[in-house]
């Protein structure tokens, strides 16, 4: 899997570099309309409202569209700090001193392996991309039903994407601030947390590495 061409990050102008190629939702499809609806409601500034299932819509489809969107967001956020996340700076995939993640995908790597953060995130994003590209799991055509195990796959994807946020916050927040990306990161993460809370998509114990931040970001919106 090749990375998108690295574009230099100019001051005050967000780089369009992404870690992996962006996953596009086909224009004109129902999912594209749902994505536009999500973007419009996000623009209202009320994130709690923005994540709610639109009336008459299918929950699987709503989760699918948002999962693709979060993949793209995290892809872009991580893409801005890849120069700082190296084998040397991050020899293990961690979220602070207490939490370390080992990689396994159940097929290619069955036994969890300890690896550097850039390698772990490369494995993770490639794995997510493979799930999103699987038409049997994430059907893009109208009328194609979702598989019975779709929600459990989506939960695994979101649980793993959370780990990228956790790593960025714990290990690279200084770099994020230097790049003036903290507002973008906070808004993206807040949207992500409201969404997974709304539909109970990530076990609470998985969220512990960022528990204080989650409470801070969500308390004033209760």
Residues tagged in the binding site annotation for Zn(2+): 85, 90, 167, 172
Q: Which residues are annotated as a binding site?
A: 85, 90, 167, 172
Q: How far apart are CA 79 and CA 197, in angstroms?
A: 26
Q: Is 200 left (phi over 0), alpha (psi -120 to 50) or beta?
A: left
Please tell me what DSSP assigns to residue 94: E
CA–chain centroid gap for 29, Å, is 22
Q: How far apart are CA 127 and CA 112, in angstroms?
A: 14
Q: How far apart are CA 47 and CA 21, in angstroms?
A: 27
DSSP-based three-state secondary structure for 7: coil
Q: Which two tokens stand for residue 138?
A: 């994430």
Q: Write the DSSP assignment of 9-44 as a string of letters.
A: -BTTB-----SSPPPPPPTTSHHHHHHHHHHHHHTT
Q: Which stretches of the chain are assigned E, i.e. beta strand?
A: 93-94, 100-101
Backbone angles phi, psi at 177, to 5 degrees: -65, -40
Helix H or strand E segment including 95: none
């Amino acid at each position: 899997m090749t990375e998108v061409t690295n574009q230099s990050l100019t001051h005050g102008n967000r780089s369009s570099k992404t870690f992996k190629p962006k996953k596009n939702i086909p224009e004109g499809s129902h999912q594209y309309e749902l994505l536009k609806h999500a973007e419009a409601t996000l623009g209202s500034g009320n994130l709690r409202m923005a994540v709610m299932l639109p009336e008459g819509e299918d929950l699987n489809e709503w989760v699918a569209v948002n999962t693709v969107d979060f993949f793209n967001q995290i892809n872009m956020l991580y893409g801005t700090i890849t120069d700082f996340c190296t084998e040397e700076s991050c020899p293990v995939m961690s979220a602070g001193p207490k939490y370390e993640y080992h990689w396994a995908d159940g097929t290619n790597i069955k036994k969890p392996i300890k690896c550097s953060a850039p390698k772990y995130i490369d494995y993770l994003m490639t794995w997510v991309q493979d799930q999103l590209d699987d038409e049997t799991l994430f059907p893009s055509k109208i009328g194609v039903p979702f598989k019975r195990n779709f929600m459990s796959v989506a939960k695994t994807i979101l649980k793993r994407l959370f780990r990228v946020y956790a790593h960025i916050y714990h290990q690279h927040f200084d770099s994020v601030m230097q790049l003036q990306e903290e507002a973008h990161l906070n808004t993206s993460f807040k949207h992500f947390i409201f969404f997974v809370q709304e539909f109970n998509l990530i076990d609470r114990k998985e969220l512990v590495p960022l528990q204080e931040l989650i409470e801070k970001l969500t308390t004033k919106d209760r």
